[in-house]
């Protein structure tokens, strides 16, 4: 059984990640993009301060915020929802980081982290980036060969395992609370989310996903979700 660390970056950013998942997989309808944007900024401010209080390096905190924002921007733009018509002109990455190159920078940052010496902070940073990839982030690889992406993901997971030893790896408590929930196929996980309208069943599926995320391959994740369907 996994005991999720309550002081990991995955845990710290859980609310922001949950909000992104709800929008990405159409579990939540957004009526006003400006209000949603402000809410997401607020959801990023608190974890940044919490991470500082926990002693995380500021550069690593910024890198994790960047990764979460990259996932958010890609999720919003992929919806092709008229509500977010203005988002493409000024994605949140431009507002917070002054650029539109998250699709490149996300993976540049990940490569840089993979070259660092082992540490618990590094494992936490890699875990958050792996979560973004498992949730479907593709960046520069959205339209091309994702072999390099898979290779980086495997390297990151191997480093996490090496740093944390025999301790099993959790993905943070990213709980989806919805009256109705559904799944969308993802090429990495083969079936990332599937749930029914019952909240208890949603929690059960989420637990199964978190139990194998980062410790199992994509095939194992597919089997777990398929078995619950």
Q: What is the pLDDT along the chain (229 residues), one digit of tens a residue?
A: 333 456 789 999 999 999 999 999 999 899 999 999 999 999 999 999 999 999 999 999 999 999 999 999 999 999 999 999 999 999 999 999 998 899 999 999 999 999 999 999 999 999 999 999 999 999 999 988 789 999 999 999 999 999 988 444 444 444 333 333 334 434 334 434 333 333 334 444 444 444 444 444 444 444 444 444 4
Q: Are residues 129 and 201 in the same domain?
A: no
* Whether residue 131 is found in the same domain as residue 60: yes
Nearest to 26 by CA among 190, 136, 130: 136
Can you give the residue range of the structural domain that contains 89? 9-164
Q: pTM surpassing 0.85?
A: no
Task: Examine the domain organization and report whether 146 and 224 are in the same domain.
Answer: no
Per-residue three-class SS string for 160-180: HHHHHCCCCCCCCCCCCCCCC
In the chain, what's the furthest Cα-to-Cα distance?
47
Looking at the fold, whether 149 and 188 belong to one and the same domain comes out as no
CATH of the domain at 138: 1.25.40.590
Asked whether residue 154 falls in the same domain as residue 194, the answer is no
Do 146 and 188 lie in a common domain?
no
**What are the backbone dihedrals phi and psi of residue 202, each rounded to the nearest 5 degrees, phi first?**
-60, -45
Pure H helices in the chain: 9-12, 14-24, 33-53, 58-79, 92-97, 102-114, 120-134, 147-164, 199-212, 218-228
Residue 175 lies in a domain: no
Residues 98 and 158 in one domain: yes
The rounded Cα 192 to chain-centroid distance in angstroms is 12
Are 43 and 105 found together in one domain? yes
Same structural domain, 152 and 189? no
Looking at the structure of the chain, the number of domains it has is 2
Residue 4 in domain: no
């Amino acid at each position: 059984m996994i005991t999720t660390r309550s002081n990991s970056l995955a845990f710290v950013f859980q609310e922001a990640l949950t909000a992104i998942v709800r929008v990405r997989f159409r579990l939540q309808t957004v009526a006003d993009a400006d209000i949603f944007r402000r809410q997401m900024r607020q959801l990023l401010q608190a974890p940044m301060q919490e991470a500082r209080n926990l002693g995380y390096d500021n550069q690593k905190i910024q890198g994790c915020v960047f990764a979460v924002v990259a996932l958010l921007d890609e999720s919003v733009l992929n919806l092709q929802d008229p509500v977010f018509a203005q988002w493409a002109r000024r994605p949140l990455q431009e507002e917070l980081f002054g650029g539109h190159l998250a699709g490149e920078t996300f993976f540049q940052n990940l490569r840089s982290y993979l070259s660092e010496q082992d540490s618990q902070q590094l494992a936490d940073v890699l875990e958050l980036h792996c979560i973004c990839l498992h949730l479907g982030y593709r960046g520069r690889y959205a339209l091309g060969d994702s072999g390099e992406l898979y290779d980086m993901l495997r390297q990151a997971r191997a480093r996490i395992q090496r740093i944390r030893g025999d301790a099993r790896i959790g993905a943070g408590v990213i709980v989806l609370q919805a009256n109705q929930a559904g799944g969308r196929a993802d090429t990495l996980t083969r079936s990332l989310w599937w749930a029914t309208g019952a909240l208890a069943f949603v929690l059960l599926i989420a637990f199964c996903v978190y139990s194998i995320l980062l410790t199992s391959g994509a095939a194992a994740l597919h089997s777990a979700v398929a078995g619950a369907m």
